[in-house]
Amino acid sequence: MTALYSIGLGVGTQNAKGEWLEVFFPQPLLNPASAISECISSALDYEGGNQALSLSTEQLELIAEKLTAAGELELSQLARTLKASKRPLVAVLLAEDAAPVSVPEGYLKLHLISHRLVKPHGTKLTGLFGVLPNVAWTNMGAIDIAELPARQLQARLEGKVLSVDCVDKFPKMTNYVVPTGVRIAHTARVRLGAHIGEGTTIMHEGFVNFNAGTLGTSMIEGRISAGVVVGEGSDLGGGCSTMGTLSGGGNIVISVGKESLIGANAGIGIPLGDRCIVESGLYITAGTKVALLDDQNQEVQVLKARELAGKHDLLFRRNSMSGRVECKTNKSAIALNEELHANN
């Protein structure tokens, strides 16, 4: 059979109409071995394409038997573990990397990113917002918004309180995936589909959206918007912001290079190169007029910030006398404190 792009065996939540609200995939697979693909495909009579198939206990046992015979013992054990579920089960088989058309497909792709199997922008998520339902995330799990009042009343009648943590299309990442070697001070501020690199520390005010994140050791005290990628060794200061593709950045992919610093309450609307600094309180958009200075602090020319997108070793600052934005060569790279970032 043709090699599959991804496979996931999951357990999730459906509303009273049988519609999926969310799915948890304990072991998502990217480019699975042909033996695994064959075992699962044959057990489910899979005929190709991208599909989300409901799972029965009989099918799970057949999958487990086939995987055991193929020597795939870890995945076989997962299949047998899922047999005890009291919640709906699903198998997602993706023949190709295409835009998700169902909730299980969307959740599998978000899992792939948060499990670090693909980097942000490494899998197609076009139309995901339209696929995922808005859900009440509560201490009793995901609940359909229309069914929430009845569930709240029922909880009260039983002497309980149903606590609604948030109402959103995306759950917090740590309820599904906790990557190794990270610190996350406020877990509700990191959405499923975030890519948190080994060694990253996210402080209480830090935020990471889906299809965005860090590639290695970084200090995040600011906002990483949807689609934004932060390079190894960079620092986003408290209250700083990065303009994402969903917040005015259009189709431009905003990124922060290696060993760069965005100061407290600063922000960027252009891709930032390696070893760059944006001083505290300075927000640079693509149209910001920037005066380039030479080593003698003399103006060379004035241009728009978009012309400096992705350039390395730059220091952006605001002249305290004239108020103009200036840029000159940054001669000091940012070095993160190794002791603070030992997250093992």
Let me know: does 238 contact 265? Beta carbons within 8 Å. Answer: yes
Q: Report the alpha-carbon distance of residue 47 to residue 49 in Å, rounded.
A: 7
Burial 184-223 (b: 16+ CB within 10 A, else e): beeebbbbbbbbbbbbbbbbeebbbbbbbbbbbbbbbbbb
Strand partners, 10: 90
> Chain centroid to CA 341: how far?
21
Residues in the chain: 344
Let me know: does 91 contact 60? Beta carbons within 8 Å. Answer: no
Q: Report the alpha-carbon distance of residue 223 to residue 27 in Å, rounded.
A: 29
Q: Tokens in use for 318?
A: 């605001």
Count CA within 13 A, CB hemisphere, residue 208: 36
What lies within 8 Å, CB to CB, of 202 at 6+ separation is: 182, 183, 184, 185, 186, 189, 190, 196, 208, 220
Count CA within 13 A, CB hemisphere, residue 312: 9
User: So which residues are the catalytic ones?
Assistant: 221
